[in-house]
Copies of this chain bind each other. A is one copy, B any other.
Amino acid sequence: MLMSITAQDVQKLRASCSVGMMEAKKALTEAGGDFDKAVELLRKQGSAKAAKKADREMSQGRVHSYIHGEGRIGVLVEISCETDFVARNEAFVEFCNDVAMHTAAMSPIYLTREEIPAEIIAKEVEIVKEQNVGKPEQVMEKIVEGKLEKYYEEMCLVDQKFIKDEDMTIAQLVESKILSIGENIKIKRFCRFELGV
């Protein structure tokens, strides 16, 4: 079924995916007017573009801090980019602050799922399997997969839903910034201290 392409959708798509008007229209046309599908399409293209930029050197960046509640929680993040011009760019600084603020609020433990020790994942899988004992193997596989994704989403900064826009993960936020700022950007590390925790 072909849906109509509204000017509102084009506007919304431009804003949420940081693309130009022609690109937004093209994606909506390709998606048959389906807004969510158009977002999906643009994100895939975005990922491809972002990947192309990934081998450029990232020697610049910014160490940024965010303190919450009169020093009850503090976060330090290091975010890399390619040039010190971008490192001083207002949009980049704002992005660093968003990531630090998100980290303060959402207390991730790891940066990426690759950092989780194998034995912790094994333990999670074991618990899920125990809770679903007796389920057919294929169903079990799906359940385990789903539960692990939930686990990553809870524990890993890049897999968490961005606190200011739950429609995107932090990884997708990074991708959108790579596109809008125009050079490769990477969250390199973070540190979060909470008083007495």
Question: Which of chain B's residues have a CB closer than 8 A to the CB of A70?
Answer: 62, 87-88
Number of copies: 2
Residues of A within 8 A of B (CB): 59-67, 70-78, 80, 87-88, 93, 96, 189, 191, 193-196
Query: What are 17 A-B interface contacts by the 8 Å CB criterion?
Result: A59-B196, A60-B195, A61-B71, A61-B196, A63-B74, A63-B195, A64-B74, A65-B66, A65-B67, A65-B74, A65-B76, A71-B87, A74-B78, A76-B76, A78-B195, A189-B193, A191-B193
| Given known A-B contacts A59-B196, A189-B193, A193-B191, A71 and B64 have beta carbons under 8 A apart | yes
| Given known A-B contacts A76-B76, A191-B76, A193-B78, A65 and B65 have beta carbons under 8 A apart | yes
Interface pair A63/B67, CB less than 8 Å apart: yes
